[in-house]
Structures are given as structure tokens and as C-alpha cells.
Structure 1
């Protein structure tokens, strides 16, 4: 099921019956930005993905004039640093030697938390930044286990801007969709 417009922004969830006797579902899920698909190669728990949509940054958009108008690459670096502080490194050795930092803030504040699993597939996520009646959505895709802020070409950075009320409609449709 696709919610929204694939040519601008859409979320999709394809439920798969997991345990029939319990009516338990997994799903393939992801999103489209400007026609580019960001999707998991493996199934994920339907309930978890629905909860990410219902309680994450997609329905709790934080306004920031600074981030909304910032150059996309600079904004992406900022969003990545906020969300994945413990995973930022310039090489594998630096990543492996890094001390774990305990966040003193909500690292999910701008993240929709719709990322894929970390098991053998591309990783992706979606950052949401509001300003007045609009939302700037920035996505990426990468295959590494750590995030480098130096080599941005490795990320497939994409962005779009939609009206807040359009995003609210998409989230509402997912909340009320009958998947089973």
C-alpha cells in the first residue's frame, strides 16, 4: 500500500502474514522521495514500523529555520551527527576504537526512524525539518557500518519539501489503514 505521491513523497507498507493463527504480520516498508525508492531487503515488524510513523518525527515535526534553509549537504551532516553520533568515523579502525557516548538529548528528534535493519543491506533513514507550513525531508542510502562526514558522495542524498498538512494526511492514512 502506497500512501502519498511517489514523485514527491510517499510511504509504503506491504504487510506479510507471519503467524496466521495469531494474525501477526511482518512487512516490507520504506518510502519514496522524488521517485527514488528507499526500501528494506528484509521484512520488518509491521507494528514497529506503524509505531515509528505514528510517534516519530513524521508526526512530531520540529520547526527549525536554521536547518530548513541550510545547504542540503551541511544540513545532512548536522542531522547525521545528531542521530548517529556513536557511528560517525572516518574509517573502520576509528569506528572500532570509538568510545560509546551516552546522548544527553533525544537523538530521534529529526529522524523518522524508518531506517532499515543493519544486517547485510543498504541503510537508509529520513530526516524531517519543519518551518511554518512546510516540511523538508532529507533521505540517504549507504552500505557502510559507520558514517563518514568527509565523503558525502557515498550517500545517495535526496530531499523534497512538502506541505505539513500533506504529511499529516499520509500519517493519518497509515494510522487508520486496515492491514489485516
Structure 2
């Protein structure tokens, strides 16, 4: 894949501008990168083309830990003097949006874009998989190895080892350490006892 050679060269050109950029990472042609110095990229981070990576103020940051695979059209925004961290070994499908920024909307006499911004900690745990078209909203904390379904709209705190789907997203499965298997759950993440429900 000769095009990846160009992506590696692009990364080398960008390297002095980032807060941190470790090799062998690479980046396809982005749409926009805002505030390079507040973006920190670990080893083996692979970013496909058309990413939009934005840090909206001088004290916020985005941290990509090691060995992260990002498909095309990622849009990620961090603001409010907060760090938005992506855990190591995480994979993103295409067209994913992640933010720690919300717009206030409650004053009906003021245009939404003129109302204040609201910031909430957002973090993706290690070894997560984020499905195609997923939206990770401000205030979302994903634990280790969470699986987010395609087109899910996610907000809230989710424990390690869970499968999250839907709009709004909810837990449908979790890993049960006692049995060593993945089990179905109710919407609150409690295991469903299938045997007791059978006739």
C-alpha cells in the first residue's frame, strides 16, 4: 500500500507541530487539525483520511494512546480545559464523532450558537471498538473493552466489558467473569437469567 508511505511522510512533516507524535504512526490527509500543540499521538496510531481533530482552547487536549486504528472521517472535539483521552488498542470504524462539548439551548430568545458551551469529561477506555457512524457525546466514559454498535448515540458512564447499542445507547451484553462468557443484560446492565425465564 504505497499511499501509506505518503501518510508516514505527512506525519513526519506534522511531527514538530504536534504536542507529541510517536513513530511508527501515520495520518491520511486531514480535513482540519486545530491547535496541533494540544494533540498527543502515541506509537502506531493509524489515522485514515478526512479526519477533523479540534482542540478549541489552549488548556484542553486530545490524547491518542498507543496502537489505535481510526477509519476515515473521524470528527473529534475537545474543549473546556479538559483532556479527551482515547485508550490504547482502540479501533474506530468510519464516520465516528466524539466530543466533550455541548451547546446550551434553553434560552429560546438566543440563537443556539450564541449560547454558552457546556463541557463534560469524555473518555474512551483501552481496547474499545467504536462502530460505524457512532456518536460519543459529552460526558461519556467508556470502560475497558467496550463495544459500541453502529450508529449508536452514546452518553453516560459504561463499565468495562460491555456491548452498547441503540439511540439512546444502552448496554445489551456484559462479560461475566464468573462464567467466563458474554451474557445478555437488561438496560441497566444487570445480567438476565435466561434459564429462569424459560418454560
In which range does the TM-score fall when normalised by the shorter chain?
under 0.3
Kindly indicate which of the two structures has a greater share of residues assigned to strand: 2
Larger Rg: 2
Kindly indicate which of the two structures has a greater share of residues assigned to helix: 1
Q: Which has the higher contact order (CA 8 A, sep 6+)?
A: 1
